[in-house]
Structure 1
Amino acid sequence: MTIINVVDAPCGFGKTSWAIQYMNSMSKESHSFIYVTPFLNEVQRIKNSVTSRTFYEPKTINGATKLDDLHLLLGEGKDICTTHALFQSANEKTKELLRINNYTLILDEVMNVIEQVPLRKNDLNLLLEAEAIKIVEDDRGLKFIRWNEEKIDYDTKYNKIKQMALTNNLMYCNNSALIWNFPCEIFLLFKDVFILTYMFKGQLQRYYYDLHGIKYRYLSVIKSKDGHVLVPYDNRKPHDKSVLKDLINVYEGKLNDVGDKPTALSKNWLEDAKNKEMIMTLKRNAYNYLMNICKANKDTALWTTIKGDKDKIMKKVKPKSFAKSFIPMTSRATNDFKDKYHLAYLVNRFLHPIEKKFFEQYGVEVDEKTWALSELIQWVWRSRIRDGLPINLYIPSKRMRELFYSYLTSDVFEEPPKSAITDEPPSDWHL
């Protein structure tokens, strides 16, 4: 069985450099690669950087979809570079083509492997009472939604649910929700799988692997005279955070008072009309920090918060003069902002309650603090700190700020999960 290789190392340790070196050094006869990254510009970067082989990017051609083109490229055994979004749409045909080929998957950053399916209050009961769906429990106690074969030809507003149920990608959550679940067997169809990330312990993809009983091996990356090398996690190079502490100037002062409560700046807090005055204070504070304390401008600043429906929350929080300095709080795996050094993180991150409940109902323990911290770190490391240059950082949420201080003063968040294999080399014997 495939054991997932999780290359877990801080931003800037050379994970992508290792992947490029690996793909350049392997023989085309022994290896075919699928490289999956969050952004289109990173697709181009890989295509330009891997010179020993030609990577193909699925395109929309003559009415055929990108997924159609992906299947064509898979059938031809081509090296492929694509986005998370396209890879998430993998179906039965994708599985079959992976099954008969011998691909290595490199996944740059974790991806969305579960998603709540939008439902109205009584949709689920209606489908169950109409016997359009039923709940089926597998031998591991996981509950899946199955579509009634006798009603397979029904054309309704629930067609999307029908399709997910027919491909066994729909799971049941806590008597109230349906969860789309990326087909986990796809990961097991690759010769080798490498995930390039940091703090995998807190990521939803880790809980998803635990849920489905998929084993993962923790690795790290070190630089040697021969380039970048993967090593067992137990042999990793210690992360010297004393240097980080000297480079990151975290604001301390009255502008933080707005975030003192444990839930302040959370999604619910930002959406609550009762907090209108506090949100105005947050907006003014962010402007004050960037403009007056940092003397920042649109070329040096980055800020984030939740977008909200139709960007409603983002517009309320937006500090005057810095509209163009916004990047989403979920930003990762991009170097587009590596010159920025005045940062304002105007949000307090909590897992979606349904997602948390979904894992916990099956006995999977969720580490929400590590998840929140990893989201913060991924965002901060879009800035020039990734190149070892100093930054200024405003984190008004007391909860998020204290998590960040804990990270800078200990290694507790980088301890691997108990279920991880930490003393083995990577699965590809060529390495």
Structure 2
Amino acid sequence: RCNLTIVNVIDAPCGYGKTSWAIQYMNEMSLESHRFIYVTPFLDEVTRVQQSVHSRKFYEPESIKGETKLNDLHRLLGQGKDIATTHALFKMANAETRELVRSNNYTLILDEVMNVIEQVPLKKDDLESMIDLGLIEYEVNNRGLTYIKWKQDRLDHESQFDIFKKYAIGNNLMLCADKTALMWNLPCDIFKLFKDVFIMTYLFKGQFQRYYYDLHGIKYRYLSFAKDDQEYRLVPYNDREVHDKEQLRSWITIYEGKLNDIGDNRNTLSKSWLENSRNKDLVTTLKRNTFSFLTNHCKANNSTALWTTVKGNKESIQKKLTPKGYKNAFIPMTERATNLHKDKYHLAYLVNRFMNPIEKGFFQQYDVKVDEDTWALSELIQWVWRSSIRDCKPIVIYIPSKRMRDLFNQYLTSDKFETLPEEAVTDQPPSDWNL
């Protein structure tokens, strides 16, 4: 039963100093009162935390002497060490991880939202076969959510269904209503085993992790920052320093012109549009347009340019769209929480983001409201903020999808996306009274 108000969501724009606040917090808390797990998407951010927090030593789980990283994580948790690790490892948490977290009174700092749900590929007759073989049963919990349970007396059964078995034993496997897909789902009880949980992100209201919390009845409070000199303070979201969009607009030039004509329809440049062989001539045009924007319009080169699109199967779409001379300027459209590209200022965003329809439908079947436009915008912003806009330096960006361009313009000219869901807690201080 996940029903405690425990999650502190620090919702502040990219580059506002969320990581700096976390480093300050971990440096200031006493070794007696606090143990931390810091979880970030990237290994270089693990290193940054290890180098920046001087008051305590952070350990990074390693695979040594035939032991897995998860075994090492359990060893470090058992010893009560401060730990810095990646999203990928944290997602492997199992019953043993949860018990060690609970008994050692840890505080979780999560840098950026995680993939808390993922579709598990299911062949046509897999479910029926597993039921016929007496391997699984359905279990509906007190919130009406349907889980796949592996039967206790069939634990030693080995088959082609072992991947489902692994997830079902960990209480991680949920059923989509139409029974066409299964969903891996990070067990929500892990979030209530920490002393405090802090998630550092932006536009949380559009993120899958928010819908996952709504699905499981986990309450969250919104916080933001105030900064005095070099000190960061967490404040209730209602007391935040409001984002100065006028200043922001002065640094961002969005290309307007005929190179945008290709993206006028609502679904153009979506993943399925890019993958559709009927659009191959249009994809060639898009590649030409991007080259023209970067080379003729911006006078860009590999050291100033950054572009992205859907990678596609075996990077097929990425290869088809790579403008001549800009192969090394590509970064994935899901890139976040890294400073490696902050000297780039000529940008091309060649994709129109929509949620995976099965994941979106998974939430909707349980009456969780999904805001696809805020999600798409937040994905775009995360990507754009890898560039020199992080350091308040000007950028020029080509967004050929009219839908994505309109969302970005709306964001830059209004506070529409910063208004929070009605049920959100926005007037409370953080849960850790030491703050």
Q: Name the TM-score, length of structure 1 as normaliser.
A: 0.99
Report the counterpart of residue 182 of structure 1 in structure 2.
Answer: 186
- Structure 2 residue 285 is matched with structure 1 residue 281: yes
One of 391, 394, 404 as aligned partner of 2:395:
391
One of 334, 348, 372 as aligned partner of 1:330:
334
- 1:120 deviation in Å? 1.6
Report the counterpart of residue 131 of structure 2 in structure 1.
Answer: 128
- 1:260 deviation in Å? 0.7
Helix, strand or coil: the match of 2:14? coil
One of 307, 310, 314 as aligned partner of 2:314:
310
Within 5 Å, which residues of 2 pair with 1:19-418? 19-174=22-177, 175-225=179-229, 227-418=231-422
Q: Any stretches of 5+ residues in structure 2 without a counterpart?
A: none
Q: Which amino acid aligns with 2:22?
A: A
Q: Which amino acid aligns with 1:335?
A: N
Once residues 158 and 420 of structure 1 are traced to their aligned partners in structure 2, the CA distance between those partners, rounded to angstroms, is: 40
- 1:163 deviation in Å? 1.3
Helix, strand or coil: the match of 2:311? coil
Helix, strand or coil: the match of 1:349? coil
226-235 vs 271-280, greater mean Cα deviation: 226-235
Once residues 409 and 252 of structure 1 are traced to their aligned partners in structure 2, the CA distance between those partners, rounded to angstroms, is: 16
Once residues 86 and 169 of structure 2 are traced to their aligned partners in structure 1, the CA distance between those partners, rounded to angstroms, is: 25
1:32 and 1:79 in contact (8 A); partners too = yes
- 1:230 deviation in Å? 0.4
2:234 and 2:430 in contact (8 A); partners too = yes
2:41 and 2:337 in contact (8 A); partners too = yes
Helix, strand or coil: the match of 1:3? strand
Once residues 397 and 184 of structure 1 are traced to their aligned partners in structure 2, the CA distance between those partners, rounded to angstroms, is: 36
- 1:2 deviation in Å? 4.9
Once residues 391 and 2 of structure 1 are traced to their aligned partners in structure 2, the CA distance between those partners, rounded to angstroms, is: 40
Once residues 223 and 266 of structure 2 are traced to their aligned partners in structure 1, the CA distance between those partners, rounded to angstroms, is: 34
Helix, strand or coil: the match of 1:313? helix
Once residues 78 and 135 of structure 2 are traced to their aligned partners in structure 1, the CA distance between those partners, rounded to angstroms, is: 35
Q: Which amino acid aligns with 1:181?
A: N
What per-residue deviation string (whole Å, max 9, x for no partner) do you get for residues 369-418 of structure 1? 00000000000000010111000000000000000000001111011222
CA-atom RMSD in angstroms: 0.9
- 1:167 deviation in Å? 1.5
Q: Any stretches of 5+ residues in structure 1 without a counterpart?
A: none
- 1:149 deviation in Å? 2.2
1:58 and 1:70 in contact (8 A); partners too = yes
1:13 and 1:222 in contact (8 A); partners too = no
- 1:129 deviation in Å? 3.0
Once residues 326 and 199 of structure 1 are traced to their aligned partners in structure 2, the CA distance between those partners, rounded to angstroms, is: 25
Once residues 416 and 55 of structure 1 are traced to their aligned partners in structure 2, the CA distance between those partners, rounded to angstroms, is: 35
1:373 and 1:404 in contact (8 A); partners too = yes
Q: Which amino acid aligns with 2:87?
A: H
Once residues 417 and 136 of structure 2 are traced to their aligned partners in structure 1, the CA distance between those partners, rounded to angstroms, is: 41
1:36 and 1:106 in contact (8 A); partners too = yes
What per-residue deviation string (whole Å, max 9, x for no partner) do you get for residues 218-241 of structure 1? 000121136011000000111110
Helix, strand or coil: the match of 2:205? helix
1:337 and 1:382 in contact (8 A); partners too = yes
What per-residue deviation string (whole Å, max 9, x for no partner) do you get for residues 331-376 of structure 1? 1000000000000000000000010000000010000000000000
- 1:294 deviation in Å? 0.5
One of 3, 12, 16 as aligned partner of 1:13:
16
Once residues 29 and 153 of structure 2 are traced to their aligned partners in structure 1, the CA distance between those partners, rounded to angstroms, is: 50
Helix, strand or coil: the match of 1:231? strand
Tell me the matched-pair count.
431
Q: Which amino acid aligns with 2:62?
A: K
- 1:419 deviation in Å? 2.3
Once residues 129 and 278 of structure 1 are traced to their aligned partners in structure 2, the CA distance between those partners, rounded to angstroms, is: 48
- 1:143 deviation in Å? 0.5
216-225 vs 105-114, greater mean Cα deviation: 216-225
